Structure 1
């Protein structure tokens, strides 16, 4: 009997909606296809000039893909990323996150196309289809950058090694290249940019902190004040000071508009894990107790390996230094009866010699302070 695939409810619903809407879109395009016209579906996709009478398209258009290649990538992303985040955050938090990173970027791209139309009077901007899971995909990468900022992914058999916070910028570069081909439009590039900004802003300032069971943590904490999740961390080392300066200026504008609230000293101290605030979990890595448990588990494994190695060496040494067994004296033949053979004693114990291998079973290391330039 094949194993059952366990998909959490929110992720399962998103996958079903993605498949149904994408198949429906393909069927409509197939039935209405002509060689001389471009088919648009204003009641399913967001099209600035045509979709104002269909307000639900601001949300539904995110789970519509136009070809099998992008549909496969979207399904793969939702299946793996959705399952991971739903189990880490809960289904309610994932649903809220998906709603925000779908609705807000679509609305911002809608406003941007209207703005460019007002500047250029080019009607192509208002007839551009805004659709696809690009904002969800890049928002998942941003979420992983928050959850596991110290982890490194090795690609192509060790040729390329990148830390997780580098992937959002790499993804934007890939989308930019595909926008130069007929596969994606300029709307996809805008969706990637706004998806990065919106998802980071929500996780940085607004998302409630999921309480760690291993740490005493107030329930009202929101956002992530840690330096490991600063916006500049998405950029390589040489560009990081410039990115930090620009993000600080934008943050000051948002604070002045009362769209963001500055972090307090206690928030920053809690994020850094200062000893004066040891009762707070590090906000830089939601679930930081899991990271601490991972570090402790690595140290425990190392200590266990060392103890096993020492025990193996001691057993081998005791076996080599054990006294030789007593010589067996042959029985004296009896003159009147048969020979009596000596029998082994019932209480005798056999000694098992363990050869020392000279190597530990393995070593696990956890290095949260890896090279930032990777």
Structure 2
């Protein structure tokens, strides 16, 4: 029987929707294909000039891929990234993250294309299709940068080593290069940039974080104030001071507009790992370290107990096999006066079933319960 693949529910539903919508889009394009016209599906994909009558496309267009190559990449990303994030955050938080990082970048890209049309009066901008899992893919990279900021990925057999926070900008650079070719449109570049900004903003300021059981953190923590998740941490060292200065000014403007709430002193203290919060604040999005440590210790204790029980059982079986077997008692010969009554060995009473381990036997211990002796010792 083949092993059963365990996929969390939200990830499973997302993969099914992606596969069904991509196959449906391919079937529609195949039936309507002509050599002289470009096929658009305004009720499945988001097209600024045609999709206002279909508001659900702001969500559904994310789960439509136009070719087998991009579909295979999207399925691989959702399968691996979705399983990790959903188990780390819970299904509800992961579903909320998918919804935000799908709808908001699509809406921002929609507005950007309308703006370019207003500036250039070129109708090509409003007929450009906004589709694909690009905002989800870069959002997963941002989420991994929060959860494992110090992790290093080695590529090409050690020729290239990159820390996880470097991958979002590397992904944006790759999408930018592909947009210069017929493979991707300018909408893909906007989706990558907006996906990065939206996912980082949500995780930085708004996402509810799980409290660590070993700390005195409140149960309503939001965002991540750690320096390892600052926007400048995604950029190389030479430009990091400039990015930090610009981001600080933008943040102050957003706080003045009451769009963002500044971090409290407790949040900053927790992020820096002070004595009241000795665990790094950058890992608050993952399950509590105390909970994980307790589960690990419980698993080790159960494993050790199981090994000792198996050793005790094997030792008892070996002693039973080495014990002498009593000779069989011949059946009585009936006589003319009637059957002869033979005395049979008496079965041990229930209280005699006591495991007495010899010194140095290696068993877990003894179990010896004598209620009468306990009553005499303890008194009335």
Normalised TM-score (structure 2): 0.75
Correspondence for 2:260: 260
The SS at the match of 1:153 is: strand
Correspondence for 2:229: 229
Q: Structure 1 residues 252 and 291, CA, compared in 2 at 3 Å: closer, same or farther? A: farther
Task: Provide the rounded CA distance (Å) in 1 between the counterparts of 2:126 and 2:209.
Answer: 39
Correspondence for 1:49: 49
Q: Is the 8 A contact 1:135 1:194 kept in 2?
A: yes
Correspondence for 2:139: 139
Q: Is the 8 A contact 1:172 1:192 kept in 2?
A: yes
Matched, 1:285 2:283: yes
Q: Is the 8 A contact 1:64 1:132 kept in 2?
A: yes
Per the TM alignment, residue 266 of structure 1 is displaced from its structure 2 partner at its CA by: 1.1
Correspondence for 1:172: 172
Per the TM alignment, residue 216 of structure 1 is displaced from its structure 2 partner at its CA by: 3.6
Task: Provide the rounded CA distance (Å) in 2 between the counterparts of 1:91 and 1:289.
Answer: 17
The SS at the match of 2:193 is: helix
Q: Deviations over 1:291-342 (max 9, x none)?
A: 9989xx9xxxxxxxxxxxxxxxxxxxxxxxxxxxxxxxxxxxxxxxxxxxxx
Q: CA RMSD in A?
A: 1.7
The SS at the match of 1:170 is: helix
The SS at the match of 1:284 is: helix
- 284-293 or 105-114, larger mean C-alpha shift: 284-293
Q: Structure 1 residues 34 and 190, CA, compared in 2 at 3 Å: closer, same or farther? A: same
Q: Is the 8 A contact 1:223 1:283 kept in 2?
A: no
Q: Structure 1 residues 283 and 173, CA, compared in 2 at 3 Å: closer, same or farther? A: same
Q: Is the 8 A contact 2:211 2:288 kept in 1?
A: no
- How many residues were matched structurally? 293
Q: Deviations over 1:57-82 (max 9, x none)?
A: 00000000000010000000000000
Correspondence for 1:361: none
Correspondence for 1:14: 14
Per the TM alignment, residue 284 of structure 1 is displaced from its structure 2 partner at its CA by: 1.6
Matched, 1:59 2:59: yes
Matched, 1:162 2:144: no
Stretches of structure 2 that go unaligned for 5 or more consecutive residues are 297-380
Larger Cα Rg: Structure 1 or Structure 2? 2
The SS at the match of 2:281 is: coil
